[in-house]
Amino acid sequence: MQKRFLLIALVLGTLVAAVAANAAAQNGPARPKITGISHLAVYTSDAAATDHFYTVSVGAVKETDPENPQGVRYMLSPTQFVEVMLLPAGTGINRLDHAALNTENAEGMRKYLAAKGWKTPAKVERGKDGSRWFSVLDPEGNTIQFVQPPANSKAVDAPNAIGHHIIHVGIMVHDRAAEDKFYRDLLGFKPYWWGGRDGKTEWVSQQVPDAHDWVEYMLGSGPGTGIPATMSQQTLGVLDHFSIGVASVPDSYKVLVSADRLMGRHDQAPKIGADGKYQFNMYDPDGTRVEVMNFHATEKPCCSEFTAEDPAE
């Protein structure tokens, strides 16, 4: 009788262990936190003019690029920046290389995505500053980088920066449902706001799961993927953009004007967007849009209420 009891207990223990192992295999590793926007990486055809724009108009601090020896970083904070690289031959009108998100664990994120069946590189890269990163393609072929900042990110002295917080990046999107499978279903992004003109949905904001920065789907480019043959470089630069959050766009605009920091193409004055927030658009020499935006709305937004908290300073 005792032997039979021991045998039953052994069998049950084996079954429990097998069920637990199977569940672990199905669930895979947990997703590390995604803590906000890291940067936008863009190309320049005029390094001197671009340098003037990002150091004077934007007020960022120029630093070397631990990821790309031929690139430059324009820092706004210890963990957020614009990465600028020389335009490769034959690039066409595209000026976007990649958008990047901060994560607490790059290797953990790589393993998580791989376990979910997403194509990932074999290993993460490591920078001289201690950062770690890897890149994947989203459903429409946009390069998305996951960055683990250095453990002790050095302080950035940027007193003239128009703002220190990149609150969102925008990328051209054709198929909202396809992109949602990656950002919403796989990565856990949460809806923040959507809107458009003439009854069309043109902008969809999806916040990162563990903070309040967001990725903005810039819709309306028609079916398919990639850059439409009829699209101009100017239009593409409006779609592929990044936004710097501020407490008051009108006040920031006054600073830019009074210090004679505006150059090239820009809005004539601040305006209130469809989301009820003040904004002011500037464009770097290759047409990439820099949107200075209020953290909070001053008017009721069109189309959709905000469904998550606003980012802050």
DSSP 202-264: -EEEEE-TTSS-EEEEE--S-SSSS--TT--HHHHHHHSEEEEEES-HHHHHHHHHHTT---S
Instruction: Give the tokens for residue 288.
Output: 């990439």
pLDDT of 1 reads 44
Please indicate, yes or no, if residue 222 is contained in any of the structural domains: yes
Note the pLDDT of residue 26.
56
3-state secondary structure of 15: helix
Q: In this structure, how many other beta carbons lie within 10 angstroms of the beta carbon of residue 264? A: 13
Q: Can you give the pLDDT of all 313 residues of the chain as single tens digits?
A: 444 343 334 434 444 343 333 444 456 899 999 999 999 999 999 999 999 999 999 999 999 999 888 899 999 999 999 999 999 998 899 999 999 999 999 999 999 999 999 999 999 999 989 999 999 999 999 999 999 999 988 899 999 999 999 999 999 999 999 999 999 999 999 999 999 999 899 999 999 999 999 999 999 777 888 999 999 999 999 999 999 999 999 999 999 999 999 999 999 999 999 999 999 999 999 999 999 999 999 999 999 999 999 999 8
What is the three-class DSSP state of 57?
helix
Look up residue 304 and give its amino acid.
Answer: S
Q: Judge whether 18 lies within some domain.
A: no
Core vs surface per residue 195-225: b (16+ CB within 10 A) or e: bbeeeeebbbbbbbebbbbbbbbbbebeeee
Q: What is the pLDDT of residue 222?
A: 79
Q: What's the alpha-carbon Rg for the chain, to the nearest Å?
A: 22
User: CA distances (Å), 9 to each of 4, 6, 19, in order?
Assistant: 9, 5, 15
Nearest Cα to 193, choosing from 311, 282, 289, 82? 311
User: In whole angstroms, what is the distance from residue 148 CA to residue 17 CA?
Assistant: 34
Please state the length of the chain.
313
Q: Is residue 44 part of a domain?
A: yes
Residue 16: inside a domain, yes or no? no
Tokens (6 digits) for 37: 């926007």
Say which amino acid occupies 35.
Answer: T
Instruction: Please tell me the distance from the alpha carbon of residue 92 to that of residue 221, in angstroms, as a whole number.
Output: 17
Structure-block tokens of residue 123? 């290993």
Specify the DSSP class assigned to residue 94.
Answer: -
Determine the Cα–Cα distance for residues 140 and 142; give it in Å rounded to an integer.
Answer: 6
Task: Reduce the DSSP state of residue 109 to 3 states and report it.
Answer: helix
What order of strands is seen across the sheet that includes strand 96-103? Answer: 61-64, 72-77, 80-86, 34-44, 96-103, 143-148, 132-137, 125-126
List the CATH number of the domain containing 176.
3.10.180.10
pLDDT at residue 3 in the model: 41
Residue ranges making up the domain that contains 166: 34-294
Q: Is 265 helix (H, G, I), strand (E, B) or coil?
A: coil
Structural domain includes residue 263: yes
- Check if the beta carbon of residue 32 is closer than 8 Å to that of residue 112: yes
H or E stretch including 44?
strand 34-44
Question: How many domains does the chain contain in total?
Answer: 1
- Is 67 within the bounds of a domain? yes
Report yes or no on 56 lying in a domain: yes
Task: Determine, yes or no, domain membership for 306.
Answer: no
Alpha helix segments (H runs only) across 126-196:
176-180
Give the per-residue pLDDT at 296: 98
